[in-house]
């Protein structure tokens, strides 16, 4: 079995290749040929934590893998990330486990890559201003990924901690071909933004309809079991896209409060979810219908993303003879 640590994964995982690989993976999921059951989780109430299991099979890329991921929100502000994970990759022909690898880097990369895919499918082609809401791992990953699919020239960073927002802006200034600045509030970040990426653990919405410019593509990947990132008015007005209707509308811990709460309150119905990413990829559902239309991609994370990403990493590792072979038998 091949063992790959985080530094290996980060070096081997190519963001452009990952964005491209996720398109057929999401199409498989929407077509019903991929298998990705709702995630299950063991709760750790003392820490407000979860340990979730996410198996997935993607025939288009021959990927069979399962991820174990912990979500411990109280790690925010510590050296440990809020999401930590490991992935085991299996041979889809025999079921043999063939690789064991860090899943924390993959979780960060695949989430951002799918958001970038949503921007490729839904954001206006001339989008140049990105609002980055949040200052953690996903904010970093999203800035890099979204800049690969749209001609971003300005990035505005906002978060709960102004010092962290300023530090992230400085960091991104050195790696992005764009002007990056920290701003004091989420409203200021969103004012005039063409794309908004929310990557927070917010209790109250950080994306609110009065703060949005017509035509914005909003992305929400953050998770808090007691909160949400997007307000009712935005959800109600937007063309809403998800990875999987089943996953997004499933009960806790799989589904999205951003959609379940307005459904509970009668603001929307399940039918308001317009499309899955895979339906946009194949063209069975068209994308935005006008330049001023607000679009929303709400992500909850699905196992086919992890399986596709892990398959790319393992293939690159084999090609470059990277990693350590360990024997279990």
Domain residue extents for the chain = 2-107+304-325, 124-301
Rounded to the nearest 5 degrees, what angle is found at the Cα of 147, between the Cα atoms of 146 and 151?
Answer: 120
Mean pLDDT value across the chain:
95
**pLDDT for position 193:** 98
The closest alpha carbon to 244, from 15, 54, 16, 41, belongs to 54
How many residues are present in the chain? Answer: 329
Report the relative pairing of strands 129-133 and 154-158 from DSSP bridges.
parallel
Q: 137-189 pLDDT, tens per residue?
A: 999 999 999 999 999 999 999 999 999 999 999 999 999 999 999 999 999 99
Low-confidence winner among 40-49, 76-85, 88-97, 210-219 (lowest mean pLDDT): 76-85
pLDDT tens, 176-235? Answer: 999 999 999 999 999 999 999 999 989 999 999 999 999 999 999 998 888 999 999 999
End-to-end CA distance of the chain: 10
Q: Which of 215, 197, 258, 200 is nearest to 122 (CA)?
A: 215
What is the average pLDDT across 129-133? Answer: 98
Q: What superfamily would CATH give domain 2-107+304-325?
A: ornithine cyclodeaminase, domain 1 (3.30.1780.10)
CA atoms within 13 A on the CB side of 34: 33
Quick one: CA dihedral 190, 195, 201, 203, positive or negative? positive
Q: What is the pLDDT of residue 33?
A: 96
R_g of the chain, CA atoms, integer Å: 19
Q: What's the CATH code, domain 124-301?
A: 3.40.50.720
């Amino acid at each position: 079995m091949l063992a790959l640590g985080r530094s290996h994964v980060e070096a081997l995982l190519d963001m452009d290749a990952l964005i491209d690989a996720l398109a057929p993976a999401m199409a498989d999921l929407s077509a019903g040929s991929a298998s990705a059951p709702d995630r299950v989780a063991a709760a750790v109430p003392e820490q407000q934590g979860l340990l979730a299991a996410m198996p997935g099979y993607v025939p288009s890329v021959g990927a069979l893998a399962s991820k174990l991921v912990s979500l411990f929100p109280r790690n925010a502000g510590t050296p440990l990330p809020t999401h930590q994970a490991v992935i085991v990759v299996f041979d889809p022909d025999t079921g043999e486990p063939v690789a064991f690898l860090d899943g924390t880097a993959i979780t960060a990369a695949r989430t951002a890559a799918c958001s970038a895919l949503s921007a490729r499918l839904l954001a206006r082609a001339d989008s140049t201003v990105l609002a980055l809401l949040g200052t953690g791992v996903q904010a970093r990953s999203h800035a890099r990924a979204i800049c690969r699919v749209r001609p971003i020239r300005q990035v505005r960073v906002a978060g709960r901690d102004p010092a962290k927002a300023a530090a992230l802006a400085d960091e991104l200034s050195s790696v992005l071909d764009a002007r990056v600045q920290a701003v004091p509030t989420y409203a200021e970040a969103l004012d005039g933004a063409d794309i908004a990426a929310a990557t927070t653990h917010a209790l109250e919405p950080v994306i609110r309809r009065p703060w949005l410019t017509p035509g914005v593509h909003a992305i929400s990947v953050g998770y808090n079991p007691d909160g949400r990132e997007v307000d009712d008015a935005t959800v109600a007005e937007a063309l809403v896209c998800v990875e999987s209707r089943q996953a997004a509308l499933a009960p806790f811990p799989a589904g999205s409060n951003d959609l379940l709460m307005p459904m509970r309150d009668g603001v929307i119905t399940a039918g308001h979810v317009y499309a899955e990413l895979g339906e946009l990829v194949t063209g069975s559902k068209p994308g935005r219908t006008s330049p001023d239309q607000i679009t929303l991609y709400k992500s909850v994370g699905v196992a086919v993303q992890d399986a596709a990403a892990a398959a790319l990493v393992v293939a690159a590792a084999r090609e470059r003879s990277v990693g350590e072979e360990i024997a279990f038998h």
